Amino acid sequence: MKKIFFLLAIVSMIGCKQKTEKKEAKKPIKIEINTLKDVNLASGSIERIENFPTENITSRPVDVWLPDGYSKDKEYSVLYMHDGQMLFDAATTWNKQEWKVDEIAGQLQSEGKTKDFIVVAVHNISEIRWNDYFPAKAMDYVSEADMKKITALANRNMANMDLYADKYLKFLTSELKPFIDRVYSVKTDKENTVIAGSSMGGLISMYAISEYPEVFGAAACISTHWPGAGVSEDNPLPAAIFAYMDKNLPMAGSHRIYFDYGDKTLDQFYPQYAPKVDEILAKKGYDSSNSANRFFKGADHSENSWNQRLDIPFTFLLAKN
């Protein structure tokens, strides 16, 4: 079933020195929402905006998963997730794996183990995924000498070093969230707004709650890719990321944050960073009631691994009051 919504245009003022100021209204942007039919779901339904209009980043699909029995007569919490095309249906993913979000979220809600919530799944664009997800302001903590080395290496490999994370978060907070808040029956406060992702998606989730603590009340950072890019002994990025996090992660009190890691495949490089994560969390006043940094022995870096434990961050961050 097709539904058409219109994103109301903002009337902008054109500044000038004359006494008479002119108002120029932008044309309304038509946003088309379609209910997906050819998708394998264990529960709920998915509505898709094929190319969400944005002035901040490259346009991409956004899927909205609605639980069984979704009703306009009640309000739902909202979970924003990255890598949206990997969350629901293994038949459509590049590696034939999925997070099983519909299975896990549906079961937890039906059993009353979490708040009722919807999932807003923002697709990635593989060619610029790193650019979208790397915490841009962490680069401020890289020395000039190291920055020259990083730039030289990127140039040799013809890699794009442009950083889009700030614009990506602006898209989430100033374009996507207002649309979700208006179109769906949801709670709009930070206590009911959660963000989650894995690997580089874990980094951007940490960055989101640090840059917009007034928007996001909780974050799940699963198999967080602390190296930031490729793994090497002289990599300056982990120290820069932790320096940013040490300064900007919100203090404990009204936020909850979840980290985890395994020890197989790419996750084998993450246990060494666990003590630093614990140190920063303690410094910020977090304890076991509002934070976690969990180790899963034998867990690797894949959707099939993450879907085995996804219920843990969901119940931790979306627990009923």
- What pLDDT, on a 0 to 100 scale, did the predictor assign at position 171? 99
Write out the two tokens for 102: 């519909």
> What is the rounded CA–CA span in Å between residue 163 and residue 157?
17
Cβ 312 vs Cβ 294: under 8 Å: yes
What sign has the CA pseudo-torsion 261, 264, 265, 270?
A: positive
Contacts of 153 by beta carbon, 8 Å cutoff, 6+ apart: 159
- What pLDDT, on a 0 to 100 scale, did the predictor assign at position 150? 86
Alpha helices in the chain (DSSP H): 101-110, 129-133, 144-156, 165-170, 177-183, 200-211, 237-248, 274-283, 303-306, 311-317
Instruction: Return the CATH number of the domain spanning residue range 34-317.
Output: 3.40.50.1820
- What pLDDT, on a 0 to 100 scale, did the predictor assign at position 158? 72
Which among 250, 273, 246 is positioned nearest to 260, based on CA atoms? 273
What is the residue-level pLDDT of the chain in tens, covering all 321 positions? 444 433 333 223 223 333 334 445 556 678 999 999 999 999 999 999 999 999 999 999 999 999 999 999 999 999 999 999 999 999 999 999 999 999 999 999 999 999 999 999 999 999 999 999 999 999 999 999 999 988 887 887 778 889 999 999 999 999 999 999 999 999 999 999 999 999 999 999 999 999 999 999 999 999 999 999 988 888 999 999 999 999 999 999 999 999 999 999 999 999 999 999 999 999 999 999 999 999 999 999 999 999 999 999 999 999 998
Cβ 216 vs Cβ 194: under 8 Å: yes
- Torsions phi, psi of 135, nearest 5? -65, 100
> What is the rounded CA–CA span in Å between residue 139 and residue 162?
11
Which sequence spans correspond to the domains of the chain? Answer: 34-317
Q: Which amino acid is at 106?
A: G
* Element at 77 (helix H, strand E): strand 77-81
What sign has the CA pseudo-torsion 53, 56, 57, 58?
A: positive
User: What's the pTM value of the predicted model, to 2 decimals?
Assistant: 0.90
Place of tokens 């379609």: 34
